[in-house]
Amino acid sequence: MRCSKALLLIVLTGLCLPRVRAGDNGEGYLKDGKLKERLEVRELQGGIAGLTGTYYAVEPDGSWSTGPVRPPRAKAGEPKAKGKLNAAQLARLSKALATYDLGTLPSHGTPVANPKVISVRFGKRASELQPGLGKSTPEDDKAIRARYAGVVQAVKAMCQEKQ
C-alpha cells in the first residue's frame, strides 16, 4: 500500500512539472541568433477602470522594453526601461521558452471579477491565463499555471538583467 501511494505521489508530482522535450535546446525559437518573432508578456490586473499592469516586450534582435499597461483597452504606455539582449541571453531565453513549451501554451482558466491576467504573445500566437479553474483537473490547472509562471519569470529576468 505504501509503495503504491509513493508511486502515485511521484506520478502526480511529475504532472505538475513543466514538460521538457528531450533534446530541445531552444533553437526552435531562434533563427540566425535572433528570436523568430516578437515576444510580449503582460501581467494585468482588472479593476473599475479596466485592465492595468506591466508589459515586457522582446524584439527579435534582442531589444527589450518594459512599461505600464493602461486602460482603455490595455494599451502599452511609454517604456520605463529598455535594453538589448546579447546572443547568449537570447539563447538562454529561447531555451526557457522551449522548457515551458511556449509554442503549445494554451489559453486557460475562466474570468472572474477584477482578474489577475497573464497574456503571452509570440508573433501571431497569443495565449491568456485567467484566474478561474476552467475546464481542467486541478493537476492540469497547476501544470499549466506553472508553465505560465516559468515563461513570465524568464522574460522578466532577461528584461532586468545587466548587460
* Cross-strand bridge partners of residue 119: 42, 128
Helix pair angle (138-158, 87-99), 10° resolution = 180
**Per residue in 134-158, pLDDT tens?**
888 999 999 999 999 999 999 999 9
Residue 88 falls inside a structural domain: yes
> What is the three-class DSSP state of 91?
helix
Bridge partner list, 30: 35
- pLDDT tens-digit series, residues 89-146: 999 999 999 999 999 999 999 999 999 999 999 999 999 999 998 888 999 999 999 9
Count of domains in the chain?
1
Q: Is residue 7 part of a domain?
A: no
Structural domain contains residue 6 = no
Residue 40 located in a structural domain: yes
Closest C-alpha to 133, from 143, 124, 123: 143
The domain that holds 78 is classified in CATH as 3.30.1560
What is the identity of the amino acid at 55? Y
Domain boundaries, position 117? 24-158
Residue 96 lies in a domain: yes
In a domain, 18, yes or no: no
Q: How many CA atoms within 13 Å lie on the side-chain side of 37?
A: 14
Tell me, yes or no, whether 80 lies in a domain. Answer: yes
Contact status, residue 119 vs residue 128, Cβ threshold 8 Å: yes
53, part of any domain: yes
Q: Residue 154 is inside which H or E element, if any?
A: helix 138-158
